[in-house]
Amino acid sequence: MFYALTALMGAISPAFPLISIEAWAIFVGLVGSKPWFATALAAAVGQLVCFSAIYFLGDRYVSKLPWVQRKLAFFEPGRYQRHAKWFYGTGAVIGVPPLNLISIAAPVMDVSYPVFATIAFVGRLLRLSVLVAFAQKAQAWFPVDAVPAWLRAFA
């Protein structure tokens, strides 16, 4: 159940920025006892589901939204086409530029889905693994008992 919830949060978080999978990964690492890699894997799978949907639907639907068109005009995907894989890698690992925007721009930049999915998944897995593992190492300095029991039950 925990991993399904983590994957669901991972899938929702790119579409709804108020839900942060990074915050969830840190919380689980600090107060939970689940294996860090399994937690990061579930979150990365969920993220890939949403980023894949954006990749396939972005050109048809999402890119038609006025605020997305403004961001894409500012972004100018053609400028980065030559180094697209490195560009996507940095977006997947450190979040700059946002992977949501990259997911929309990838088809425009002629990046195939298998390449995009591999880069996005590995990058997010790396990012989330570091967050969960670091938080687990920091448990000794964090007052876990201060977190209410009902909230710790989620982790």
Residue in the block written with tokens 């997010």: 124
C-alpha–C-alpha distance, residues 127 and 102, integer Å: 17
pLDDT of residue 129: 92
Give domain limits for the chain. Answer: 2-152
| Residues 84, 66: Cα–Cα separation, whole Å | 24
pLDDT tens track for 69-93: 676 666 666 666 666 677 677 777 7
Q: Is the pLDDT of residue 94 over 70?
A: yes
Of 14-18, 84-88, 139-143, the one with minimum mean pLDDT is: 84-88
In degrees to the nearest 10, what's the CA dihedral of 124, 155, 137, 146?
A: 140
| DSSP 8-class letter at 13 | T
Of 134, 143, 62, 151, the residue nearest 98 (C-alpha) = 62
- Name the band, by pLDDT with cuts 50, 70 and 90, for residue 44: very high
